[in-house]
Amino acid sequence: MTSFKPVKTPCIGVCSTGIGDLVCRGCKRFSHEVIDWNAYDHKQRLLVIKRLETFLAQVVRNHVEIIDQRLLQQQLSLQGVRFDPDQDPHCWVFALLRAGARQIKNLDHFGVRLMARNDATPLTEVRDRIDREYYELSSAHYDRCIAPGALMKA
């Protein structure tokens, strides 16, 4: 018998699909995924999670570089920051920024460095840029691949 880890909802409690957004501004799932999540089987949930992870990691890579992954993981655990060790470590960085962008004085202590173009940018702004770009990437994917008639236009 195959055993697998249950896939948790990516919901962060900031859902905007209830006010008409086609892509949730909180978790970045599509509105139909939010609505149908409880009816999804393990494989369907995993596909959604993997897409979200890929998009987030892609965006984070544009803003930060992981210098020491082991240090990052240790510090996240030490600081009590919730992260999924099975995810791409760039997703861990976003969890770190969400939890403590206002308090972090030196990212080097976490094994992370900002890309040169973000050097003088406050971490709260870097976090907000990442979140905005993540939303934009999810929205663009929705418009291109999911929106009604998108496949017929291609």
Under 8 Å between Cβ of 58 and 87: no
pLDDT, mean over the chain: 91
Under 8 Å between Cβ of 142 and 22: yes
Q: Which residue has the higher pLDDT, 28 or 8?
A: 28
DSSP state of 23: B
**Average pLDDT of the residues in 128-149:** 92
pLDDT higher than threshold 90 for residue 128: yes
Residues 6+ apart with CB under 8 A from 66: 72, 89, 90, 93, 111, 112
Confidence category of residue 154, pLDDT binned at 50, 70, 90: very low
What is the phi/psi pair of residue 125, to 5°?
Answer: -70, -40
List the beta bridge partners of residue 112: 66
How far is residue 67's CA from residue 56's CA, in Å, rounded to a whole number? 18
Confidence category of residue 149, pLDDT binned at 50, 70, 90: low
The confidence score (pLDDT) of residue 3 equals 58
The angle at the Cα of 60, spanning 59 to 61, to the nearest 5 degrees, equals 90
33-84 pLDDT per residue, tens: 999 999 999 999 999 999 999 999 999 999 999 999 999 999 999 999 999 9
Q: pTM for this one?
A: 0.90
